[in-house]
Structure 1
Amino acid sequence: MPSTELKHRFEIAAPPERVFAHLAEPSNYIGLSPLLVAVRDVHRTETDGTLHYTAVERFRFLGVLTHDNIIGVTLVAAPERLPARAEITGEVRSPARVRMSYRFTIDRHASGSVVTDTLHLRTPPGLLRFAASQAGAVQQNRARVLTARLSGA
């Protein structure tokens, strides 16, 4: 399957603990992506605390037609190195065989935190360009919304 990696790094005037807590909660992702409209069926694995949930992305076509893309998400939050650093990783599985692994690395910085948002996309042939453009737009939006939410901007 064709693949690509997207990386976006940005600063937030909030401590890593606060950024980590926000990104470790699935319901907080609503609004971080303009496509994400719902999070449901959240389950925590008893042995390691991994979260599994269903997310709903809503695509609009021609401003009238909509398509709800139901995706399975796994989220692993690793606070072991807080307060200096934390990571959140996971995997997204879409019905169109689009796979995306993600990693947020949150590092302490003089102004609060530096977040590195890394996405690795794998798609069937012919879908990579579209998926990468959508994912890149979501990364940029996520940085703006997260910064506004957590720094009070």
Structure 2
Amino acid sequence: MPRVTLRHTFHVRNSPAALRAHLSQPQSYVGLSPLVVAVRDVEAGERETRYVSVERFRFMGVKYDNLIRVTLRSTPEAVEGEVASPGGVRLDYRFRLTGRDGGTEVEDMLVVRAWARPLLNFAARKAREVQLARAEVLTSRLG
């Protein structure tokens, strides 16, 4: 399956613990991605949380809600997980959180996979837009 890896590193003026707590909650992702408008069916387990994220797309004036399955895990140094979209796009993500300069250096890494190159190109372009916007939103919310 073709794949693209995207990385973006940025600084937030808050502690790694505060970012970990925020990124470990499914509800925090509403608005953190400009596409995510809701989360539902949250199942919190001992080691991971699973939920459905509602991504809203508009294409030629038509609204489409894409329901994606998300698995979320928190470790002492990162928040990570997997996303499975019904269209055959898969995404692995990891926010590595490192204390630095009185705040946190966040390395946001995404690995996007899709069954066809045109779909991968579209998904990777959208993922990069979301990744860059997410840095601004996190900085605004917590920094």
TM-score clears 0.5: yes
Native 8 Å contact 1:59 1:66 kept in 2: yes
Aligned equivalent of 2:3? 3
Q: Secondary structure at the match of 1:14?
A: coil
Match of 1:76 in 2: 73
Tell me, which stretches of 5 or more residues in structure 1 are unaligned? 80-85
Match of 2:127, SS state, is helix
How far, CA to CA, are the matches of 2:27 and 2:119 in structure 1? 28
Q: 1: CA distance between counterparts of 2:53 and 2:11?
A: 27
Q: Equivalences for 1:3-152 in 2 at 5 Å?
A: 3-45=3-45, 48-62=46-60, 64-79=61-76, 86-125=77-116, 126-151=118-143
- 2-structure distance, mates of 1:138, 1:16: 21
Q: Find runs of 4+ consecutive structure 1 residues off by over 4 angstroms.
A: none
Distance in 1 between the 2:48 and 2:33 partners?
A: 21
Larger radius of gyration: 1
Deviations 1:77-103 (A, max 9, x none): 113xxxxxx211100000011000000
Deviation readout 1:32-63 (Å, 9 max, x if unpaired): 11100010111022xx421000000000112x
Gaps of at least 5 residues in structure 2 are none
Letter in 2 for 1:40: R
Determine if contact 1:91/1:99 at 8 Å carries over to the other structure.
yes
TM-score of the superposed pair, with normalisation by structure 2 = 0.96
- Which residue is 1:82 aligned to? none
Percent identity between matched residues is 46
Deviation at 1:111, TM superposition (A): 3.1
- Length-normalised TM-score, structure 1: 0.90
RMSD (CA atoms): 0.8
1:110 CA displacement: 1.3
